[in-house]
Amino acid sequence: MLKLILLVLVSAFAFGAVVNSPTEAANLVMETMLTDLSNKEVRSLDGFLLRGDFMGAWSHPEIIVPFNGYLVLVDDYALANWEHPCRWVFVSPDGEMNTIRMTVPPDALPRMNVEYTSLPETDNGKGQYEDFIAWWVPNVQSTSTSADHMYAWIISGGANQSNNHTRYYGDVQFIYNVLAHDYLLPDDHIIVCFADGLNPAPDLSNGLNSNPDFDDDGDSDIIYDATTAGVTSGYNAINALVGADDHLFIYTTDHGGSGKYAFDSPPEVTLNLWGSTLDDDTFMGYMDAFSAMSIHVVMEQCYSGGFLGEVINTGATQPRTFASAANASESSYAGATYPEYDEYVYYWTGAVHGSTPPTTSVPGGALPGTPDMNGDGKISMYEAAFKAEEWDTCAQSGQEHPMWDDTPDSCGDDYYLGGLIVTSVENLSASVPSMDLSISQNPVVSTAMVNFTLPSPAHATIEILDIAGRIVSIPVSGSVASGSHTVASGLENAPAGIYVVRLTTGSHIETLRAVRL
C-alpha cells in the first residue's frame, strides 16, 4: 500500500515575467507569493528541469515536474525540524508558477542555494564544540556504584548533510557530557549512533565534520553511524550490555516524520536516520526485547509524541517513562536556542545538569527556575520533563505540545539518570557496621525469608517497596533486640517483578534488590 500524501496544487501566472535562472525564479516567488519572510527561507535548485522529470522527496512518493523550468523551495517554518509545511514552487521561463504544498524538502536540498532567509548567520568556522568545552564544568550527581548499572543509547541521524544541523550535534554533546561526567557512566556504557559515524567527510550542514570526541578526552565517543545498519548494530550492542539489574536511558534527536500512512490511529511515525528512517513499530520491538530493570526515553524530533504508545505499552515488563518535545502530529522547533541546540532538550538536559550552556538567543548559565521540585536532591525524570516544557518558549507559545507518560503511574518520580531514587548504604557513614541484610532465596519464592543482624538493640523497620517506590508491606516495625533475626519476606503474594527491601535503624539504612519470579 502506498503511503498517502495530500498534494495541494496551486497554479499562478506572472504576466510579462521572463525567468532565465534559478535566482530569477526565486525573486519572482518572493515578489508574488511572500509578503513576510519571518521564520521562512527561500531556496532555488541549481539547474533547469524538464517536464516529466521525477523529484525525490525523502520518504514520500516522487513528484513529477509539471513543465520545463526551475524549482524554488519556500520553507515556511525554517526554525522547525522536518517534517513541517513547505512549498515546492515550479516556475516556467514565461513566469507560470505551480505550487505543491509539502511537509518535506526535495532530496536535492543539498544542491539548493539559499536565496532569502530570516535565520541568523551561523558560525561556519568551528561550530559550537570549543565554546561548549570551554563552558563545561561537571556537576557530579551520582556515584560510580550506581553508574555500574546505568546505560544509555543515543541516536541522531540528521537525514543527510544538508539537514544534519549543528544543533543536533550540540544536543548530543550536551547529554553525552552529562551522562559521562555528572552521572559517571563509563564510556562503554554509552552507545552513540550519529550521522555518518566516523566517516571523515563533512556531515554537518555548516560544512564541517562532526568531532567524534564529545568530551575532549582524546577518544572517539561515536560508536556507530546512524544508518539503518548502524542503529541495528547499536541496538544489538546495548541489548547485550543491559541486564535485569540495569537501567536504560534512550535519547533521540534530529528529524521525524508522519510515518507509513497519513491517517492511521494510533499515529504511525518515524525517526529520521542517516539516509533512512526508523519507524515506531521497530522501536517498540527494541523496547520490548530489553530486559532492563527500567527504561527511560527522551525524544526531540518532529512527531516524536507518536512513539509514546510504543514505549508506554500494555506489554511493558518494567517501569518506563517517556518525554518528547512534540506530539504525534506536529513539528518540534530549535526555538530560542537556534542554531546551537533544540530548545526542549536544551532545557531537559540543563535541568538534569543544573545549568545551561550559552546560546544565541538565551543567556545560558543559570536555569530559569529550580527543577528539584520535591527537594530530594535528585532531578527525577518527571521533574526534568515538567521543567523542560515550562521553560521551552515554543511549548509555551503553543507551537509544540510536549508529551509525558509513565508506567506504572507516577514512577517518573522515582527514577533519575542515576537509576532508582533510594537511599543506599553507600551514602551513609562507613563507621556504621553492616546489618548483613539478605534474603534466604533470591529470586524470591513463597518461603523466602529476610535475614538481618543488629549490633545493639534498636528501633528497626523493614519495608518492602515495589520498583515504583510504593510500600508493599512492612514486615518489621518496632523495638528489636541485638543479634541475628529472620522474618518473612512479605513477598509471598506479590506479583512477579523487582522489589527493594529497605532496613532502617535510626539514621542507618541498608537496601537490597529482590526479584519475585
Q: Give CA–CA dist 44/115, Å, rounded.
A: 7
- In the chain, % helix, strand, coil (3-state, to 5) comes to 25, 30, 50
Looking at residue 11, what is its pLDDT?
Answer: 61
Q: Residue 416 forms beta bridges with which residues?
A: 419
Q: What's the Cα-to-Cα distance from 326 to each of 152, 351, 409, 410, rounded to whole Å?
A: 22, 18, 21, 21
With residue 75 as reference, give the H or E element that holds it: strand 70-75
Phi, psi of 433 (to 5 degrees): -65, 150
Contact 150, 246 (CB under 8 A): yes
Q: Report residue 23 as a C-alpha cell.
A: 535566482
Between strands 415-416 and 320-324, the pairing is unpaired
* Distance in angstroms (rounded) separating the CA atoms of residues 378 and 478: 30
Comparing C-alpha atoms, which of 316, 379, 374 is closest to residue 348? Answer: 379
Q: Cβ contacts of residue 184 below 8 Å, gap of 6+?
A: 140, 142, 143, 144, 146, 147
User: By the 8 A CB rule, do 341 and 283 touch?
Assistant: no
Take residue 439 and report the three cell numbers written for it.
Answer: 534474603
What pLDDT shows up at residue 426?
Answer: 42
> What is the CA angle 208-210-215, rounded to 5?
135
Residue 171 is predicted with a pLDDT of 97
Q: Is 410 helix (H, G, I), strand (E, B) or coil?
A: coil
pLDDT value of position 280 = 94
CA–CA separation, 296 vs 278, rounded Å?
A: 18
Report helix, strand or coil for 310.
helix
Q: How far is CA 60 from CA 2, 55, 104, 110, 301, in A?
A: 9, 10, 8, 17, 18
- The position carrying cell 518532529 is 302
pLDDT of amino acid 15: 59
> Would you state the cell numbers that stand for residue 49, as one nine-digit string?
528541469
CA distance 158 to 162: 9
CA distance 54 to 39: 29
Sorted by where each starts, the structural domains of the chain and their CATH numbers stand as 8-117 (no CATH), 129-420 (3.40.50.1460), 425-516 (2.60.40.3080)
Helices (H), ranges, 214-277 = 228-241
Q: CA–CA separation, 50 vs 58, rounded Å?
A: 20
Query: How far, in Å, CA of 495 to CA of 419, rounded?
Result: 22
Query: What is the enclosing helix (H) or strand (E) of 173?
Result: helix 166-177
pLDDT, residue 1, reads 28
- Residue with the three cell numbers 546489618: 435
- Cβ proximity of 507 and 428 under 8 Å: yes
Distance set, CA 49 to CA 66, 90, 92 (Å): 10, 9, 9
List, in sequence order, every residue forming a beta bridge with 444; answer none if it has no partner: 516
Are 172 and 213 a contacting pair, CB within 8 Å?
A: no
For the chain, 517 residues long, give each residue's pLDDT as a single digit of tens.
233 344 455 566 665 679 999 999 999 999 999 988 988 999 999 999 999 999 998 777 889 999 999 999 999 999 899 999 999 999 999 999 999 999 999 999 888 999 999 887 765 545 578 889 999 999 999 999 889 999 999 999 999 998 999 999 999 999 999 999 999 999 999 999 999 999 999 999 888 999 999 999 999 999 999 999 999 999 999 999 999 989 999 999 999 998 654 444 556 899 999 999 999 999 999 999 999 999 999 999 999 999 999 999 988 999 999 999 999 999 999 999 998 999 999 999 999 999 999 887 888 889 999 999 988 889 999 999 999 999 999 999 999 999 999 999 889 999 999 999 874 434 433 344 568 888 888 778 777 899 999 988 989 999 888 765 678 889 999 999 999 999 988 888 888 777 778 888 875 777 777 777 7
Half-sphere CA count of 295, side-chain side, radius 13 A: 29
Residue 11 CA, chain-centre distance (Å), reads 40
Amino acid at 212: P
In one-letter notation, the amino acid at residue 148 is D
